[in-house]
Amino acid sequence: MRIFEQQDAARGETLRLLSLFGLAVAATVAGVHLALALCWALLDLLSPFPLAFPHLFFTVNVGVTLLLVLGGWWIETSNLQAAGGAERLARRIGAREARPASSHGEQRLRNIVEEVCIAAHMPCPLVMVMPRHEAINAFAAGWDAQDAVVAVTQGALELLTRDELQGMVAHECSHILEGDTRLNMQLAGMVSGLELVWGFGDAVRERGGLAVLFGSAIMAIGSGGWYAGRALQASVSRQREFLADARAVQWTRSRDGLGGVLRKAMTQREEADRMRADPPWPASVQHLLLLGRGAERGGWFDAHPPLAVRVQRLYGRPMPPLPLERAAAAEVTWV
Q: How many degrees, rounded to 5, is the angle at CA 103 between CA 88 and CA 155?
A: 65
CA–CA gap between residue 95 and residue 138 (Å, rounded): 11
Q: What pLDDT sits at residue 327?
A: 61
User: Can you tell me the mean pLDDT for 199-219?
Assistant: 93
Q: Give the confidence band of 202 by pLDDT, cuts at 50, 70, 90.
A: very high
User: Can you tell me the mean pLDDT for 185-195?
Assistant: 92
Which of 78, 181, 139, 187 minimizes the C-alpha distance to 293? 139
DSSP per position, 279-334:
PPPPGGGGGGBSS-TTTTT--TT-SS--HHHHHHHHHSS----------GGG----
Is residue 334's pLDDT more than 70?
no
Which of 282, 278, 292, 188 minimizes the C-alpha distance to 244? 292
Which of 37, 321, 39 minimizes the C-alpha distance to 205? 39
CA–CA gap between residue 39 and residue 219 (Å, rounded): 13
Q: What pLDDT sits at residue 2?
A: 83
Tell me whether residue 331 is one of the annotated catalytic residues.
Answer: no
Q: What pLDDT sits at residue 331?
A: 46
Q: Give the confidence band of 329 by pLDDT, cuts at 50, 70, 90.
A: very low
Q: What is the mean pLDDT of the chain?
A: 88
Q: Phi and psi at residue 49, in whole multiples of 5°?
A: -135, 150
pTM of the model: 0.88
Quick one: what percent of the chain has pLDDT higher than 90? 67
Q: Phi and psi at residue 318, in whole multiples of 5°?
A: -65, 145
Helices within 124-254 (DSSP H only): 154-159, 162-177, 180-205, 211-252
Among the four given CATH numbers 3.30.2010.10, 2.40.10.170, 3.60.15.10, 3.40.980.10, the one describing domain 86-179+238-330: 3.30.2010.10
**Hey, is 260 helix, strand or coil?**
helix
Q: Where are the domains of the chain?
A: 3-84+181-236, 86-179+238-330
Q: Is residue 3 within 8 Å of 249, Cβ to Cβ?
A: yes
Q: Convert the pLDDT of each residue in 22-78 to its tens digit.
A: 999 999 999 999 999 999 999 888 888 888 888 899 999 999 999 999 999 998 888
Q: Convert the pLDDT of each residue in 286-314 to its tens digit.
A: 778 888 765 556 688 888 999 999 999 99
Q: Is residue 267 within 8 Å of 312, Cβ to Cβ?
A: no
Q: Convert the pLDDT of each residue in 93-149 to its tens digit.
A: 889 999 998 889 999 999 999 999 999 999 999 999 999 888 899 999 887 777 899
Q: What pLDDT sits at residue 232?
A: 96
For residue 140, the one-letter residue type is: A
User: Can you tell me the mean pLDDT for 255-259?
Assistant: 95
Q: What pLDDT sits at residue 257?
A: 95
Q: Give the confidence band of 333 by pLDDT, cuts at 50, 70, 90.
A: very low
Is residue 162's pLDDT more than 50?
yes
Q: Phi and psi at residue 187, in whole multiples of 5°?
A: -65, -40
Pick the catalytic residue: 76, 87, 106, 172?
Answer: 172
Q: What pLDDT sits at residue 52?
A: 86
DSSP per position, 85-122:
-HHHHHHHTT-EE--TTT-HHHHHHHHHHHHHHHHHT-
